[in-house]
Structure 1
Amino acid sequence: MTTWSVPRRPCRAFGLLLLVILSFLVLRRLDWHHMLSPWRRRRQSGLHTQGQNFMLEDSTFWIFGGSVHYFRVPKAYWRDRLLKMKACGLNTLTTYVPWNLHEPQRGTFDFSGNLDLEAFVLMAAEIGLWVVLRPGPYICSEVDLGGLPSWLLQDSGMRLRTTYKGFTEAVDLYFDHLMSRVVPLQYKHGGPIIAMQVENEYGSYNKDPAYMPYIKKALEDRGIVELLLTSDNKEGLSKGIVEGVLATINLQSQHELESLSTFLSSVQGVQPKMVMEYWTGWFDSWGGPHNILDSSDVLKTVSAIIDAGSSINLYMFHGGTNFGFINGAMHFHEYKSDVTSYDYDAVLTEAGDYTAKYTKLRELFGSISDVPLPAPPELLPKTVYEPLKPALYLSLWDALQFLGEPTKSEKPINMENLPINNGSGQSFGYTLYETTIDSSGVLSGLVRDRGQVFVNTASVGFLDYERRKIVIPLIQGYTVLRILVENRGRVNYGDAIDDQRKGLIGNIYLNNSPLRNFRIYSLDMKKSFFKRLSSSAWSPLPEAPTLPAFFLGALSVDFSPLDTFMKLEGWEKGVAFVNGQNLGRYWDVGPQETLYLPGAWLDQGINQVLVFEERMAGPVIQFTDTPHLGSNRYLN
């Protein structure tokens, strides 16, 4: 290869030298350090503690936070909710990260669409909010199994939230993936995440002293460099302290504030105080009331927390909705599953509307802010659509032929251990168990959570937590016994989380003899489930449909779609879907009477409405512009 060389000219070399000297003098005069972008120049120490204060770099910083869970809000409405947060005078977003939704099958991750965590965090930054991330792995949050994936329960010896090898191996693989996404979003990397929570309320569980240090190390080993926090309520605060991690408290009552703050001071000395969860309302359970916390009480308590020199996070600022089957449950004296709405009586309603709490808190935070607050965004309008009568119908029994071969097993298999979904079992929905019997008698067994029992296609009653036996009527010859079992929500808080397998648990007995040879159908009701139902299978709605059944209708939207609320008056219990989106469960035991239907999920023109009803179908499906969440009970 030919090489060309150009002789150097002394005058050119001298000119270059002169240019370098002049450039240095100019930059020195201009102070080049101040020409760098502010985030590069100042992001060194991040959020840290100095005596009783939080410091962001070298400035005193108060965390005025609010919780919004991206997985409970349609992605199209994230910006609306975060702008309303900013306009309320808050400066920090907090959110949980649900492992069970992000890793629905072992080793298969989903951060798309409504689960796009990175997009949510970056949107918060764009709007001017810092972020405190609460990645678990356990999050509570009134979601199924506290956000832990149900496939963990395939291991009969599983001990969740401990250093049990089967659990930590799964956490390690999940954190490997999750933290690769989170690390670049940290403050010191130019992102908005200023702090990270280590697990959640572990002091109330406290089954393994090595567990919390393990989680702390798991975060740090994967590149988490921001301030670490714990979060505990009064039952767990004394046992939730972790060395090198700032403890924070969760509460609702002003009376708890002084005693909990005094305890924190005694164990961690002079440190900033923070109420990580001030509960602005409460969640609801099926069969109970709609819980309300008076806005004046909220204002008084928030004012007292700030006057006490504490930072605060409002849990919830906006609750949103337990779309699909993601709701959790409680089981202390009795099993109680959470309703679909996660309105929580929060600062914004389930549909993102303003409340008296919003008005009062905006005035409070506005009086503290040293700059005027932005104007609150306009409310998203609501509408009433015409009632629709389902036109087509498909009984569950006729649908079975389109679902593929069932799992065949000598003995019953619980949902989590079904050999489906690439070996990850079934997480949500219903499971149908079929076998053959040739006599009447007493049927008994452990059903989780609710099993409707059929002889052929005739319903003869239920098995659940309260009813463990049922009489099977006199029959002739061989008869198909069917048990349709619903997972109503795995417990998300307390000591019972290891015992949350669903379906038929162990043997089911007829006259004390175990039944055998089952056909088991997974009715998870995901989009792929409905794609298997042939269009030719549907028939015109009969006068007396055989239930359980699917009902199909069309909602016509003439103009730009708006938010509305579906009302299933006259229907008993089931699940509603619109354009393939699972709006959640309905049940006439209340308190919730309407399902939130976001306009963002509707199309101008014809929209598919599908309802799975277990027991009794109503004549029409109604729509209203006002939510009905049940009779109020004021929290003390």
Structure 2
Amino acid sequence: MWAFLGRPECILCLSSALCAMALLSNNEFSRLNQTHLTPLLLINRKVGLQVKDSQFTLEGFPFRIISGTIDYFRIPRNSWRLSLRKMQAGGFNTLTTAFITMASQSGLWVILCPGPYIGSDLDLGGLPSWLLKDPKMKLRTTYKGFTKAMNRYFDNLIPKIAKFQYKKGGPIIAVQVENEYGSYYMDKKYMAYVKTALVSRGIDELLMTADDGVSLRKGHLENVLATVHMKNIKKETFGDLRSIQGKSPILMMVYTTKSFDTWGTLHQTGDAQMLLKDVHEMFHLGFSLNFYMFQGGTNFGLIGGAQSSEGYKPVVTSYDYNALVSEGGEYTVQYREFQRFFHSVTDSHLTVQPKTTQMFAYQPVTLLYFMTLWEFLPNLVKTTKSSKPLSMEQLRVNERSGQSFGYILYETVIFSGGLITSRGHIRDRGQVFLDNIYIGLLDQSNSELLLYKDVSKKSQILRILVENQGRLTSGQDINKERKGLTGDIYLDKSPLRPFKIYSLEMNNIFIQREFPNSWQRVTSQVQGPAFFLSYLKAGDPPQDTFMKIQGWGKGVISINGRSLGRYWNIGPQETVFVPGSWLQPGVNKIIMFEELKGDEKIHFSTKAQLGH
């Protein structure tokens, strides 16, 4: 008994006083009868989600939130409805997300997380990088430059979602104000400002905050329900909750057994049995909970962020997250176990179980073509000339909103050799080339490189190809997360001048351009940086698959003009998910940008290989 109270990792440590909060006094669960509390059955609505002592109520009836998170931007649009059906069939009654229109049709309520900051291990926590054009920007504060952008965002968003609130016949039963602000806390007035911004525009359902155990007090707002993320929960956490808001229901807003993966580290795995024991215990104690993630999905289009708790570590492309439904949409053993458990403790309607997702291993692609980056550059008509380096955010591209993702190439002329020093101005990874020949690497751990000039030449072209590997997703240092060359680069002690700058964003618009007709057939391994072209033939209908990156080095992949994400042979991830809905019957165009060295084939698999 009480496995949850003594979790070995010490992630959760509840005091014996917490036992008094339990709605049940023994090991037997009383079945929850919530079958009448569904979006499809509640037509006449008067009272939405409320707090009554230690439980939630909906229309005055006791209501236990069994929720899961799905990020719409990590799931192919054609799969949204299917993912929601899998959630409802699994015994869940609520979706925590930023998309809502399909939820009620699937019998799910919605806890809406409108931001503007959402975290979620995204580049800059989901905030747009153009905010950092302002050198004085203070993100997530009442700084005028930020609130102006936030108000414009809410002016556009809230009128579209307010009509989906519970009292207006929609599925939204609660709205989260920002996310984990207590751990950031740069401005004590900010959370109240966000609350007012939401309420004044018509949000009138139950409001919530969400913070980890040690940040509850800083992130809390008066008359707003505080919910808990499982991180840093200690004995004192529930005492803090009680002192903040008295006797109230406990919603474990983020519950998970693992974390995201980062490049060059071991694959994170969870303990399914520990997860199940914890959820049993939370139910015994009367908790509501939200699984993060129900289905993790994929960091399509280079949207993954980075963490800095143990040095800069960028997030991998897969966001499988050991979720109940896998990256590709397959049921896991955990899903089946929780489905049985939730159906055993709730009087939920039995629904038709959506069929399991089928993967397909296409035949290897053996006919490839390539074009070096240097051959491609003359086709970039929009370049920037500058006397000194400009960061991605400072470029006057994308209607002057700057560059968000991908690569940026800096080109200058040198007349002598010497020691190149970056002084910390490379963000994040810079490959150095002299007359198209690779010289070495500059990054956050290597700031110097010795350069030998060819004495037979009066001058040589020096190029630095810099990759944005992902902006920090949290912490106060997000205000410094400009990418590219963020300051001067020195040759000996003189700053390099001037520069020709190429934007290589590698987004869908970039990939969809017309490439020059100068492709050469691959007959052996090709040294990067280079673009590779190949074609995949799919049947009707096309099926989901995984592309194997064995034999390739590092780069990004797109198919039919849509970015699948990054790959890197340092692992742990060894496959990239290819949604069947992004394919078409017949011929499909694959474009790869390979930084290091390309292979002669592309292989496919039915199984994700995310590391060991």
Tell me if TM exceeds 0.5.
yes
Matched residue, 2:355: 378
* 1:185-224 deviation per Cα after TM superposition (whole angstroms, max 9, x unaligned): 1111111011000000000111111000000000001100
Matched residue, 2:342: 365
Letter paired with 2:127:
L
Matched residue, 1:457: 436
Matched residue, 1:554: 535
Q: Is 1:526 the equivalent of 2:526?
A: no
> How far apart, CA to CA, are the structure 2 residues paired with 1:530 and 1:560?
24
Matched residue, 1:174: 153
Matched residue, 2:52: 50
Are the aligned partners of 2:214 and 2:237 in contact in 1 as well (CA < 8 Å)? no
Are the aligned partners of 2:259 and 2:321 in contact in 1 as well (CA < 8 Å)? yes
Letter paired with 1:171:
M
With over 3 angstroms needed to count, the CA separation of the structure-2 counterparts of 1:349 and 1:544, relative to structure 1, is: closer
> How far apart, CA to CA, are the structure 2 residues paired with 1:397 and 1:527?
21
Structural mapping, 1:201-350, within 5 Å: 201-251=180-230, 256=233, 259-350=236-327
Letter paired with 2:602:
I
> How far apart, CA to CA, are the structure 1 residues paired with 2:192 and 2:71?
26
Among candidates 169, 191, 199, match of residue 190 of structure 1 = 169
Are the aligned partners of 1:414 and 1:504 in contact in 2 as well (CA < 8 Å)? yes
- Structure with the largest fraction of helix: 1
Structure showing greater Rg:
1
> How far apart, CA to CA, are the structure 1 residues paired with 2:164 and 2:481?
34
Matched residue, 1:488: 469
Among candidates 156, 175, 178, match of residue 199 of structure 1 = 178
Per-residue deviation at 1:295? Answer: 0.9
* 1:108-166 deviation per Cα after TM superposition (whole angstroms, max 9, x unaligned): xxxxxxxxx4xxx1211101000001111111100000011100000111111111110
Matched residue, 1:88: 90
> How far apart, CA to CA, are the structure 2 residues paired with 1:330 and 1:128?
36
> How far apart, CA to CA, are the structure 2 residues paired with 1:143 and 1:460?
32
Letter paired with 1:226:
E
Matched residue, 2:401: 424
Matched residue, 1:5: none
Mean Cα deviation higher: 397-406 or 412-421: 397-406
> How far apart, CA to CA, are the structure 2 residues paired with 1:262 and 1:378?
45
Letter paired with 1:48:
Q
Among candidates 381, 391, 410, match of residue 433 of structure 1 = 410
> How far apart, CA to CA, are the structure 2 residues paired with 1:275 and 1:431?
42
> How far apart, CA to CA, are the structure 2 residues paired with 1:410 and 1:65?
54
> How far apart, CA to CA, are the structure 1 residues paired with 2:557 and 2:435?
26
Are the aligned partners of 1:93 and 1:132 in contact in 2 as well (CA < 8 Å)? yes
Letter paired with 1:405:
K
Per-residue deviation at 1:252? Answer: 6.0
> How far apart, CA to CA, are the structure 2 residues paired with 1:412 and 1:530?
25
Structural mapping, 1:532-611, within 5 Å: 532-541=513-522, 543=524, 545-611=526-592
* 1:524-556 deviation per Cα after TM superposition (whole angstroms, max 9, x unaligned): 122332344434232333546352000101111
Letter paired with 2:216:
L
Are the aligned partners of 1:252 and 1:280 in contact in 2 as well (CA < 8 Å)? no
Any idea what SS the aligned residue of 1:536 has? coil
Matched residue, 2:79: 77
Letter paired with 1:148:
L
> How far apart, CA to CA, are the structure 2 residues paired with 1:62 and 1:364?
14
Any idea what SS the aligned residue of 1:300 has? helix
Structural mapping, 1:32-181, within 5 Å: 41=44, 43-95=45-97, 97=98, 117=99, 121-181=100-160
Per-residue deviation at 1:257? Answer: 7.2
Matched residue, 2:37: none
> How far apart, CA to CA, are the structure 2 residues paired with 1:144 and 1:56?
36
Structural mapping, 1:393-404, within 5 Å: 393-404=370-381
> How far apart, CA to CA, are the structure 2 residues paired with 1:304 and 1:554?
52
> How far apart, CA to CA, are the structure 1 residues paired with 2:105 and 2:269?
33
Are the aligned partners of 2:508 and 2:563 in contact in 1 as well (CA < 8 Å)? no
> How far apart, CA to CA, are the structure 1 residues paired with 2:366 and 2:373?
19
> How far apart, CA to CA, are the structure 1 residues paired with 2:367 and 2:139?
44
Any idea what SS the aligned residue of 1:339 has? coil
With over 3 angstroms needed to count, the CA separation of the structure-2 counterparts of 1:443 and 1:263, relative to structure 1, is: same
Any idea what SS the aligned residue of 2:360 has? coil
Structure 1 runs (4+) deviating above 4 angstroms are 37-40
Mean Cα deviation higher: 298-307 or 218-227: 298-307
Per-residue deviation at 1:405? Answer: 3.2
> How far apart, CA to CA, are the structure 1 residues paired with 2:525 and 2:579?
32
With over 3 angstroms needed to count, the CA separation of the structure-2 counterparts of 1:389 and 1:473, relative to structure 1, is: farther
> How far apart, CA to CA, are the structure 2 residues paired with 1:39 and 1:558?
44
Are the aligned partners of 1:252 and 1:279 in contact in 2 as well (CA < 8 Å)? no
CA RMSD of aligned residues (A): 1.5
Letter paired with 2:90:
C
Per-residue deviation at 1:183? Answer: 0.6
Equivalent pairs counted in the alignment come to 569
Per-residue deviation at 1:320? Answer: 0.5
With over 3 angstroms needed to count, the CA separation of the structure-2 counterparts of 1:38 and 1:88, relative to structure 1, is: closer
> How far apart, CA to CA, are the structure 2 residues paired with 1:531 and 1:131?
36
Per-residue deviation at 1:495? Answer: 2.1
> How far apart, CA to CA, are the structure 2 residues paired with 1:220 and 1:436?
56
Any idea what SS the aligned residue of 2:174 has? strand
Normalised by the length of structure 2, the TM-score is: 0.91
Letter paired with 1:326:
I
Per-residue deviation at 1:433? Answer: 0.4
Per-residue deviation at 1:412? Answer: 0.3
Q: Aligned residues: percent identity? A: 47
> How far apart, CA to CA, are the structure 2 residues paired with 1:338 and 1:243?
35
Gaps of 5+ in 1: 1-36, 98-116, 632-636
> How far apart, CA to CA, are the structure 2 residues paired with 1:396 and 1:362?
50
Per-residue deviation at 1:558? Answer: 3.2
Q: Is 1:470 the equivalent of 2:449?
A: yes
Any idea what SS the aligned residue of 1:276 has? strand
Are the aligned partners of 1:403 and 1:532 in contact in 2 as well (CA < 8 Å)? no
Matched residue, 1:106: none
With over 3 angstroms needed to count, the CA separation of the structure-2 counterparts of 1:544 and 1:299, relative to structure 1, is: closer
> How far apart, CA to CA, are the structure 1 residues paired with 2:311 and 2:595?
23
